[in-house]
Amino acid sequence: MKDIKAKILSNREITPGYFKILLDAPYIARHAGPGQFVQVKCSNGYEPLLRRPFSIHRVKGEGSRVKEIEILYEIIGKGTGILSRKKAGETIDILGPLGNGFNLPSAISHQPSAILVAGGIGVAPLVFLAEELKKRKIKTTVLIGAKTKKAILCEGDFKGMGADVHVATDDGSRGYKGFVSKLFDKVLRTGVEPPRRGRTTIYVCGPNAMLKSTADICKKRGLYCQVSLEEKMACGIGVCLGCAVEVKGERL
């Protein structure tokens, strides 16, 4: 973990309200794993005072040339609004990589597979994960959920990696009509190749209600599930307890 000044290489709006910012951050790029995040100081002053946490969306480069990280973010409040107005050539203060990240399958001889379930902006860390799974030649299915078809993110990125992609929208404007957790249950029941207990890993990121419902489905079917919890926090390292989540009566 390091606190660095990262040069902005690009900062572009990919669809209304959603941006991708590319940063020159060699140390973080080389040490980051899928599911980890950075804490970003969005302004040069004291307003807003606290940093904002963002999942690492992508790491760019190969081998010793890995030096860039990309962040996918949505304009929600003052901090992300300021961030969206940053220009290429400017620098921002970022701290990372932070968090535990996902555990990746390693038993290639056992033909592992993975299902990635994304809800809204929860898709952000799953692109990095999908790229790592592709390197390991792990068969990957991706389920993307959004409120409407205009809010579907990263579908082309996943398809470009050869993943089997399914889409769900709350209003039915694209793909399955309903929550992505319901689509997940449907895929498990009707898929051509059902997930295999002990060989298929489920990775989930999105709103807490969606995480819980998806994890409950996995528990009933005996599937190994990893969820990425996203919380507002001040420090990013566990000291402020802003990231603490109650799990079975314990604060983790």
**Residues ≥6 apart with Cβ < 8 Å to 210:** 117, 119, 122, 145, 179, 180, 181, 204
Condensed to tens digits (0 to 9), the pLDDT of residues 176-206 reads: 999 999 999 999 988 755 666 668 899 999 9
For the chain, the first-to-last Cα distance in angstroms comes to 21
Condensed to tens digits (0 to 9), the pLDDT of residues 216-247 reads: 999 999 999 999 987 666 666 666 656 656 66
**What's the pLDDT score for residue 218?**
94
Distance of CA 188 to the CA centre of its chain: 22
**What's the pLDDT score for residue 112?**
86
Sign of CA dihedral 112, 116, 117, 122: positive
Distance set, CA 119 to CA 7, 52, 126, 145, 207 (Å): 30, 20, 11, 5, 7
Condensed to tens digits (0 to 9), the pLDDT of residues 141-174 reads: 999 999 999 999 999 999 999 999 999 999 999 9
Nearest Cα neighbor of 201 from 113, 142, 129 is 113
Asked if residues 6 and 70 have their Cβ atoms less than 8 Å apart, the reply is no
Nearest Cα neighbor of 97 from 123, 120, 128, 73 is 128
Phi-psi region of 90 (alpha: psi -120 to 50; beta: other; left: phi over 0): beta
pTM of the model: 0.92
Condensed to tens digits (0 to 9), the pLDDT of residues 21-54 reads: 999 999 999 999 999 999 999 988 888 888 999 9
